[in-house]
Structure 1
Amino acid sequence: MTLWPGLAADAAAQACPAGWPQWDAFARRHVQADGRVVDFSVPEQQSTSESQSYGMFFALAANDRARFAAIWRWSRDNLGAGSDKLPAWQWGRREGGSFGVIDPNAASDADLWFAYALLEAARLWQMPDYLKAGMALLGQVKAQEVRVMGDLGPMLLPGPVGFEAGRERWRLNPSYLPLPLLRRFAAVDPSGPWTAMVQGAARLATQSAPQGFAPDWVIYDAGKGFQPDSERSVLGSYDAIRVYLWAGVTNDGDPLVAAVRNALAPMTRAVVSYAAPPEKINTVTGAPEGRGPIGFSAALLPWLKATGAADALAAQEALVREKWQTWSRAAHPAGAAGDGEFNYYNSVLSLFGWGWLQGQYRFDAAGQVTPAWACAA
């Protein structure tokens, strides 16, 4: 078996895996035949731009071309992705019972994942139509969701509407900016804001965490720098867990990732102390609250691997594996009571985190993805 490029050929290195049962289970439960990715854990039975874009990335990693095409087609036709506007972030059951767009505002993290999945599908599958669509969507992001924010430079708003927090003040979400995606955009669009945004994203991750814990939301003030978002929340929880996830899956050769990992090192110590990731952390005081769901444990697997926390990694992986084996032995038809522990969001975090540890995909230092099906090529 060929080992992943860039990984030491030791017992910890992952060989190219055969199949991806977690994706197969997720697709059976959440991906309709027409390409709609459904979150059954909420009353709206919603589909979001996040769910659609993540679904495309997982389908690419699984070499599931038919589902990739269906998910993109549904997103384009129902959310508006690929037209002259950004995709609506929320679609589902509206008041009155009909289904359609609930909130037309866009979510910029999903827009980045849409564009990335399309660009990488074009490269890996040699499909120029996906390249055209990905570049067009990237152009919409630049036009509508990027602002120059003082010394921070060009930065990604969480969406085109609703994130101005006053004069020269903006509300930001650190989990919206995975370094591998920005690296890839910088390569395909060298005249765009992406190279500068990589630097800004690293500053956002390192400077918005005064106690070493990433917040869900933060204010950037052009005159004062990063400030706690006391109006919305000072917690780090269901959004912020992805900051550690993205830092974990980023290639070690990225020159900025070490600083991010060092700045957020207290999360590793928290996992060791509590034998699980906290569900919520007050990022101003550092006080934890509650035990995170199984998806948090899965999301932190790449982080624990990257930071050398071998014992914590083994414990959290064993927990994820045990929970998955117990869950998978039961019947889980689509829409069954929100799918329990492996609901939509926990499953997504598991696909990203546990999938990476299993070797289902890797990013290189330039942001290109190598899926398992291509790793031996």
Structure 2
Amino acid sequence: MLLLLYVPSFCHAQPAWPLWENYNRVIIDQQGRVIDHSAQDRTTSEGQSYAMFFALVANDRARFDKLLHWTEVNLAGGDLTQHLPAWNWGKAPDGSWKVLDAHPASDADLWMAYSLIEAGRLWHDSHYDRLGTALAAQVAQYEAVFIPGFGTTLLPGSSGFHPDDRTWILNPCYLQPSILARLAKIMPNGPWASILSSLTPLLTLGSSVGYAMDWVAVSSNGVHPSITPAQQAAGDTVATPVGGYEAIRVYLWLGIADPDTQNVRSLLVRLPAMATYMSLHPNPPQQVDVQGKVINANGPPGFSAALIPYLQAVGKGSLAREQMERLTSTLNPTNGLYGKSADYYDQNLALFATGWSEGRYRFDREGRLRVKWK
């Protein structure tokens, strides 16, 4: 089945979203915990934050509230206004289920804050808005950083990404343009506009001949910063910088953003290599190195999904349709999810991409969320 890519008119009726329902049935438990079955059934703040966004897009307030409650109780010590959520919760060596790593992840924190703020507006509930604003304020306090000679940007977490006095390790996919534009509009005294501006040098100088990289190092002597692709951070061991599972979201975020959002058009132009590659190959690459050499050519189904909005945005509609066809061909009729193993990450990328391509949501130029049901 081929899903057509078009921008339908928005209306008040909200049709069923089969992928979201199947995701709930297979991946989210009755408490509101998003379970990554491919990683020892762990739960991450990323998974919780994405699911909250999808629940808002689906006008699924009951599930939104369950997701929020489980997250606040289990990842944030019962209070998201005072604690950033721990990024990793799962089964400990002693068999207990608990927080395994209390450090926060700033991308999840921003998605959660944004979803709460927009839920407050769309569902007319100031409690959500206050919670989201307080969470965003914590991100500004603990995860934003000023780098001399570079400016203010976003650390991937509150600690572990500043290995020495002159070096910071950053992740471009954590800087989602629509979210940052929205926060800059409603919290103009915060660091959000500066963080959004920092995405341009991170992708321009920290990219690999037109491919986004997973991690970027900023080294500064206080005057002239050096910006280069980096190995993974926080103790991970990777032989060389790559663009892969992290960087695929850079293309997705730029593709689903309003093209008139600050810097989005220019950044799409600065990442041409992926579109060029896709014009010659049926599958997205899973990893590329700093020279643009493909390390692994077999990107999973979620990578095809992530590239659909990007290819549309750069005027490659026929290539976008080919990736939609590839994604659709992997649909498992037994569970309604994509890929033989129905990996958690693939489903999230697919929900973002197909939800967008089906017109279930849009961001305006200032990051405001428009939903089909409103």
Q: Identify whether the pair has TM-score above 0.5, normalized to the shorter chain.
A: yes
Please tell me whether the aligned partners of residues 26 and 335 of structure 2 are also in contact (alpha carbons under 8 angstroms).
no
**Distance change >3 Å, CA 259–CA 339, structure 1 → 2:** closer
CA contact (8 A) 2:113 2:136 kept: yes
Matched, 1:280 2:287: yes
Q: Which moved more, 1:221-230 or 1:170-179?
A: 221-230
Q: Which amino acid aligns with 1:69?
A: D
Q: Which of residues 37, 44, 49 is equivalent to 1:48?
A: 44
Deviations 1:94-133 (A, max 9, x none): 1121100000011000000010000000000011001110
State the shift of 1:340 in Å. Answer: 3.2
Structure 1 length-normalised TM: 0.91
What residue identity is the alignment partner of 2:324?
Answer: E
Task: Tell me the equivalent position of 1:93.
Answer: 91
5 Å-filtered alignment, 1:339-354, equals: 340-354=340-354
Alpha-carbon deviation of 1:339?
Answer: 7.5
Deviation at 1:33, TM superposition (A): 1.4
Q: Compute the displacement of 1:187 (Å).
A: 1.2
Which of 67, 70, 75 is 1:71 aligned to? Answer: 67
Matched with 2:229 is 228
Structure 2 matches for 1:290-309, cutoff 5 A? 290-309=297-316
| Cross-structure match for 2:235 | none
- Structure 1 residues 76, 11: CA separation in 2 closer, same or farther (over 3 Å shift)? closer
Describe how 1:189-228 pairs up with structure 2 within 5 A.
189-223=187-221, 224-228=225-229
Are 2:16 and 1:19 equivalent residues in the alignment? Answer: yes
Q: Which moved more, 1:120-129 or 1:30-39?
A: 30-39
Larger deviation: 363-372 or 14-23?
A: 14-23
**Structure 2 regions of 5+ residues with no counterpart?**
233-237
Q: Secondary structure at the match of 1:166?
A: coil
Q: Deviations over 1:277-322 (max 9, x none)?
A: 100000x210012210000000110001101112211111111122
**TM-score (normalizing by structure 2):** 0.91
Structure 1 position 159, deviation (Å): 0.4
Structure 1 position 330 matched with structure 2 position 334: yes
Report deviation, 1:264.
0.5
Query: Deviation of residue 198 (structure 1)?
Result: 1.3
Percent identical among aligned pairs is 38
Q: How much has 1:265 moved relative to structure 2?
A: 0.9
| Whole-Å separation in 2 of the counterparts to 1:198 and 1:83 | 24
- Write the deviation string for residues 313-336 of structure 1: whole angstroms up to 9, x where unpaired: 111111112222xx0x21479xxx
Residues 1:264 and 2:261 are matched in the alignment:
no
Show the counterpart of 1:356. 356
Contact 1:49–1:111 under 8 Å retained in 2: yes
Read off the aligned partner of 1:258 and give its amino acid letter: R
Aligned to 1:7: none
Please state if 1:38 is matched with 2:35: yes
- Are the equivalent residues in 2 in contact too, given 1:215–1:236 (CA < 8 A)? yes
SS of match in other structure, 1:151: coil
Aligned mates of 1:177, 1:371 — CA distance in 2: 22
Aligned partners of 2:170 and 2:274: how far apart in 1?
Answer: 21
Could you say what the CA RMSD is over the residues aligned between the two structures, in angstroms? 1.9
Using the TM superposition, give the Cα deviation of residue 183 of structure 1 relative to its aligned residue in structure 2, in angstroms: 0.5
User: Which range moved further: 16-25 or 109-118?
Assistant: 16-25
Q: Secondary structure at the match of 2:103?
A: coil
Structure-2 separation of matches of 1:352 and 1:186? 23
Local SS of the residue matching 2:287: strand
Give the structure with the larger helix fraction: 1
Q: Which runs of 5+ in 1 are unaligned?
A: 1-9
Return the alpha-carbon distance in structure 1 between the equivalents of residues 203 and 363 of structure 2: 19
Q: Check the 8 A contact 1:205/1:243 in 2, yes or no.
A: no
Aligned equivalents of 1:176, 1:254: Cα separation in 2: 17
1:228 Cα deviation (Å)?
2.4
Q: Specify whether residues 318 and 15 from structure 1 end up closer, same or farther in structure 2 by C-alpha distance, changes over 3 A only.
A: farther
Distance 1:339 1:278, change over 3 A: closer
Indicate if the aligned counterparts of 2:52 and 2:67 stay in contact, CA closer than 8 A: yes
Contact 1:219 1:229 (C-alpha < 8 Å) held by counterparts: yes
Taking the aligned partners of 1:218 and 1:91, their CA distance within structure 2 comes to 27
